[in-house]
Amino acid sequence: MGTESGSAGVLLGQAGTLNLQTGNLLNWGRLRKKCPATPSEELRDCIQKTLNEWSSKISPDLLQELPETLECTLAQAIEKINPEEREELKVSACSALGVDQLDSVIIAPPPTEDGINISLEYLQPYWAELENLVQNKKIVAIGTSDLDKALLEQLFLWAQVKPSSNQVNLASCCVMPPDLTAFAKEFDIQLLTHNDPKELLSEASFQETLQESISDCQVHEWTPLWLLRYSVIVKSRGVIKSKGYILQAKRIPAS
């Protein structure tokens, strides 16, 4: 592990961007901690296992190149969708699964300090990009996560492509807020529930996971930029066929 970790540390010490893709978590029993794990535990576990496997397979050529962008992906874990099965599946990731169009994408804003709410101005550039993908037929439906009634209404009135759904965190309310329920019903917005923590992967948590896998890396220089969780569900049965994570992290060298 020492030499492998050392090679990974050298690469991470020179690169500016890390793209990590776990592949299908259901493919090879990588998550052996407690079951069921919390979403954050599952994420940390699969990031660590992916980093460990990737570190053990670093080629000498890669060490010669010292690329600016590292692709931490395991070929054996990537599972493309059979085109003949596409109609039977509901998909929420594109290039990773070899499909032309996603059925649904839900955007979840980063956590804020207590008492501070996400503004419409913050959401607008991200939503405009999602609208562009809908108009280019890359996504069928787009939705939101953890928006209260006021912000969901502001977004709905401003948006060209309206949100089709809004996820509500079960931890924050046992009962759906009546004003949100009434608004969603009036404008045909599906209300869904989730049990993710406010922050699925904090900077500190990512750095700890990186440290556990690659001990001689300057982990304090790395921060996660965005995280995508995808799933493939068999429509008729509601069974998860595939699920995984894709994340991008950036290195900001200490001055």
Q: Angle at CA 176, nearest 5°, toward 184 and 151?
A: 50
Per-residue model confidence (pLDDT) at position 215: 81
Specify if 28 maps to a domain: yes
Summarised one tens digit per residue, pLDDT across range 44-75 is 988 998 999 899 988 889 999 999 999 998 76
What is the count of structural domains for the chain?
A: 1
Specify if 33 maps to a domain: yes
| Greater model confidence, 227 or 79 | 227
Burial (Cβ within 10 Å: 0-12, 13-18, ≥19) of residue 50 = buried
- Report whether pLDDT(190) > 90: yes
Domain hosting 74: range is: 1-79+200-226+243-255
Per-residue model confidence (pLDDT) at position 253: 85
Specify if 42 maps to a domain: yes
Three-class secondary structure of residue 5 per DSSP: helix
- Report whether pLDDT(92) > 50: no
Token pair of 253, please? 């060298």
Specify if 158 maps to a domain: no
Specify if 72 maps to a domain: yes
| Residue 141: C-alpha distances to residues 158, 163, 170, 243 (Å) | 17, 8, 23, 19
> Are 248 and 223 spatial neighbours (Cβ–Cβ below 8 Å)?
no
Specify if 89 maps to a domain: no
Summarised one tens digit per residue, pLDDT across range 138-163 is 899 999 998 999 999 999 999 999 99
Specify if 204 maps to a domain: yes
Instruction: Kindly report the pTM of this predicted structure.
Output: 0.81
